[in-house]
Each structure stands twice: as C-alpha cells, then as structure tokens.
Amino acid sequence: MTAEDRKPEERIDEYLLGRATAEDVGVLNELLARDEQLRKLYRFRVALEGGYREAAIRGESLEPTTAGSFDRAKQSSHKSFLYGLALAAASLAALALIAVVQWNSVDRETPTSVASSGMGIPVARLVTSLDANWRDVDPTPGEFLAKGIFQLDAGVVELEFNRGARVTLRGPSSFELKDTDLLHVSSGNLVARIPEEAIGFTIVTDEAEVVDLGTEFGLRVESGRQTEVHVIEGLVEVFPRESSSNRSTESVRIEEGQAVRWKAGDVEKMATESIPVRSSRGVLGTEQRNDLGLTFLQGNIRLKETVSSADLRRSASSWIEVIPEQSGVLIQREIPVTLVAPGNYRLFRDSGQVIPAGTKVDSYLFHFRSTQPSPIQGVIKFDQEIVGLVCEATQLAASDSIVGREGMRFPVASRQYRGLEPHVRFENPNPDKGGGWTADEVTISQDMRTVGLSVNVNPRQGVDQLRVLVRSKD
C-alpha cells in the first residue's frame, strides 16, 4: 500500500500511536478541517484510545468482563488519580497561611485586591524590588500595577504578569504595561522568563516586536539607537512593528545561545547583526543574581544588600529583610540545619539535621526588625527547592563563614537570641526571656518552595535572624 491510498482512519491511528509522518499530519489537517464525519471518527478513535490504554494499564490480557468489573477497574484508576489530587488538597488545607495568599494562575487573572499605581486594570504585580527608585510612584513588593507608563530611574525590579511571565528590569528604564501579555519597553535592560502558560508573551520596543516562543531572553534597549535580543533559552521571533500583519516573511527567529543587534532604522529590513550572547546577568549588567530567585507573597518584606552595624543596634521600623548571600556554593562538609521538611514548626533546636556534603546551594539571610510587640509575618516563595532552614543561633554562626556574605557583620554578641525561639518546649513562655513574646512560627510548604514566617522580635534585646538555603540552579 502506498502512502497516497491510505485510508484517513489509518492515518488517524498512526497519529494517535505517535507514528504519523509529516505527510500524514498534513493530509489529516486538510481532511479534518473540511470533513465533519471524519472529525466524528477522530473523536470515536480517541474514545477507543482511552479503552486501549485502560486495558493495558489494568493488566494484561483481558478476560471477558462484566460491566461491574469494568466499573471497578475504572474506579481503581480514578482512585490513583484522586490520591494525587487529595495530596495536593491536603497540602493546601494544611498550609492555610500559604493557601490564603497562593498566587495561582486563576487568581492572577482576577486579583481581588488591587493597589495599582495608575488608573485602569492591573496587569502585573511587583514581586521583588532592590534599591528601586521610581519616578512619580512608589510601589512596594506585592502591589499590583495597572496599565500605564512607568519610569524606573535606578535599581532592579521583578514583575510578574498576570499570565505568568516574569520580567526583571534594571533602571534606568522607561516602559509601559500594556496588557497581561504585552510590555512596551522604550529603554532599559531586562530579562524575561516565560513559563509554559505564558508562551506568546510579547515585548515591543519602539521599532520591533519580540514574541516569545517559550524561553528566557534578554533585551537591551537604547532608545533611538539600538536594540539587542539575547536568547538564553528557547526561541524568540522578532518582527518589525510596522509589518506585523506580514509576519511569515519578515520575521527573524533567534535560537537559544544566539543574540542579535539592530540599529534604529534597520529593523524594517531586518538588517540584524549577530553578536555574542550574554547571560541574564550580563544582560542586566548587574552583580546581583539575575532573577533574585524569590517572590514576596505577603508581608512587610524587602530586599537588602547587607545588614549594617546600625541595623543591628536599632529598630526604626518593622521589616523582614532578605539579604541574598553567596550563590552556587558547593558544600564541602555537611552543614547542620534546623528544618529540612515541610510542616508547621514552633520549636527550633539542633536536632541533628544536616545538608549533606556535595549539595550546591544559594543562601538567603532573613533579618527581622520590629518596633512592635506583635509578630512580623510574611510569606516568601523561592524559585528553587528549599534544602534547609537554619534557625538556631549556633547553627547560624557555623554557617556564616560558609555561605554568608563577605564583609557583613553578623550579630555574634546577640548570639543567645539571634535565631528563632523557643529552643525547648514549654507551656507559658516568659516574655522577658528569649527574643519575643510568643513562640516564633515557621511553615514550609509541601513543595519545599514557600516559607511562611511569624517572628517576634523584642526590640530591647532580640536580633532575630534565620538563613534559608535553596538548591542552586547554577
């Protein structure tokens, strides 16, 4: 039988079995588009697919079945799937703190609390901010940003668009949030990371349109001069803005590991020039980690570069401060840590847990300062898996020299109260002892990426810190 005289249903079966050729798919596209009966047949064959798979999973050669046994077989496969669902549900229920603020995809589309910095519909959220200096507005991490034009004079910010795209921008930058999947950048350097659900996210410059096809890429836009596109991972397609209706002939596809530059006025001809690709850090032109690696979901949290001596002496305001420490540290000798598993914790002592030698980690120091007797609370989500929390003062001191930031002053004098409390279980905590008024509390999510914190700091004597170690992606 030749390829030409194959029946459509045979091509459908080949397709469903993953054996179709490009010709099969081409023919099927044509036939299915115009033939309703064939589409019905396709649906019927897909329904049978489920039966074949079920029979193969159930085991082996089928004996003649009754409806009852078939039903039971179905129930067993449901059970296995529902077990997975139940686990997800249980983890959500157990971590109510996190569930409340979970930034899930559906919520992203219809935010209920909007602190926009302009009029209109919120399209993105500011998730992290490092030394950001905005013109006219002053959004804090966690705030939604509405459609509108923004000027970032200095600093690094990370935005999460409602469709899931994450964009790190370094000032000075001028940009306009146009929609949940559209950003207009007139000037500035940025790195965009696009999860699956946000494929198609588009960044326009004054001259070109950069469409993401599932990737991580960087843009360096110098207004009126030149634009560079660096594809760090995946694929992007660049179109001249004026001829976007004629995309198939006038676009340029840029693959992973490639970078191009075009000068103002050249883009209509797609006269691009290949240049060496930069890493995301290189695109941003910063010593900071390119993506900061975390998201502040809730609470009074900010990033800082260090903790100074003055910071240790006084508490002028209540903050959880996060200081990115060393990254990509290969652990030579096991590090004692306090917490290594999901759960809700109110007791922080050395229980013999360690991060084994050979693990490569990034470190974040959390510094809690407060002027209030009430606990400081916050929820932080990390991009990478958490491998351990160091909450106990002796363990903190031991890990300072391994993963701590060089030149930072650690509160050795406050050693007794440096970590979280209590270290022993007791019924009625004495408010004059330890770092705070009530027990500190840490919740780690089931997926080991999110941490909920509720920490008491006695401003007269306590200096609470903890360290989060995540698996390095370097």
Distances (CA, A) of 260 to 19, 36, 230, 253, 274: 37, 46, 7, 10, 4
Please state the closest distance from residue 378 (CB atom) to another protein, in A: 21
Report whether 277 contacts 265 (CB < 8 A): no
Please state the closest distance from residue 379 (CB atom) to another protein, in A: 16
Residue 153 as a binder of another protein (CB under 8 A): the answer is: no
For another protein, the closer CB: 82 or 114: 82
Cis peptide upstream of residue 172 (ω within 30 degrees of 0)? yes
Cα 57 to Cα 330: distance, rounded to the nearest angstrom: 43
SS3 content of the chain, % helix, strand, coil (to 5): 25, 35, 40
Distances (CA, A) of 45 to 33, 40, 42, 73, 202: 17, 9, 5, 21, 37
User: Residue written as tokens 């089928």?
Assistant: 62
Site string for another protein, 101-140 (x = CB under 8 A): -x-xxxxxxx------------------------------
For another protein, the closer CB: 213 or 398: 213
For another protein, the closer CB: 105 or 317: 105
# binding residues, another protein (CB under 8 A): 71
Residue 258 as a binder of another protein (CB under 8 A): the answer is: no
Please state the closest distance from residue 63 (CB atom) to another protein, in A: 6
Please state the closest distance from residue 455 (CB atom) to another protein, in A: 28
User: Residue 465: which of 401, 415, 398 has the closest Cα?
Assistant: 415
- What are the backbone dihedrals phi and psi of residue 322, each rounded to the nearest 5 degrees, phi first? -115, 125
Please state the closest distance from residue 30 (CB atom) to another protein, in A: 9
Cα 177 to Cα 152: distance, rounded to the nearest angstrom: 13
What is the radius of gyration, based on Cα positions, of the chain? 27
Please state the closest distance from residue 80 (CB atom) to another protein, in A: 11
Site string for another protein, 161-200 (x = CB under 8 A): --x--------------------------------xx-xx
Please state the closest distance from residue 260 (CB atom) to another protein, in A: 20
Q: Which of residues 209-248 bind another protein (CB under 8 A)?
A: 213-214, 235
Please state the closest distance from residue 415 (CB atom) to another protein, in A: 43
Residue 412 as a binder of another protein (CB under 8 A): the answer is: no
Residue 253 as a binder of another protein (CB under 8 A): the answer is: no
Cα 243 to Cα 448: distance, rounded to the nearest angstrom: 46
Distances (CA, A) of 433 to 94, 344, 416, 428, 461: 31, 23, 10, 11, 9
Please state the closest distance from residue 401 (CB atom) to another protein, in A: 41
SS3 of residue 379 by DSSP: strand
For another protein, the closer CB: 64 or 352: 64
Please state the closest distance from residue 333 (CB atom) to another protein, in A: 39
Neighbours of 39 (CB within 10 A): 13
| Stretch of residues binding another protein (CB under 8 A), selected from 99-107, 165-173, 314-322, 424-432 | 99-107
User: Residue 409: which of 470, 361, 365 has the closest Cα?
Assistant: 365
Cα 334 to Cα 230: distance, rounded to the nearest angstrom: 38
Residue 3 as a binder of another protein (CB under 8 A): the answer is: no
For another protein, the closer CB: 46 or 412: 46
Q: Which of residues 56-95 bind another protein (CB under 8 A)?
A: 56-57, 61-65, 67, 70-71, 74-75, 78, 81-82, 84-86, 88-89, 92
Residue 426 as a binder of another protein (CB under 8 A): the answer is: no
Q: Which of residues 5-34 bind another protein (CB under 8 A)?
A: 9-10, 13-15, 17-22, 24-25, 28-29, 32-33
Question: Got the DSSP string for 217-257?
Answer: EEEEEETTTEEEEEEEESEEEEEEGGGGGGHHHH-EEEETT
Residue 427 as a binder of another protein (CB under 8 A): the answer is: no
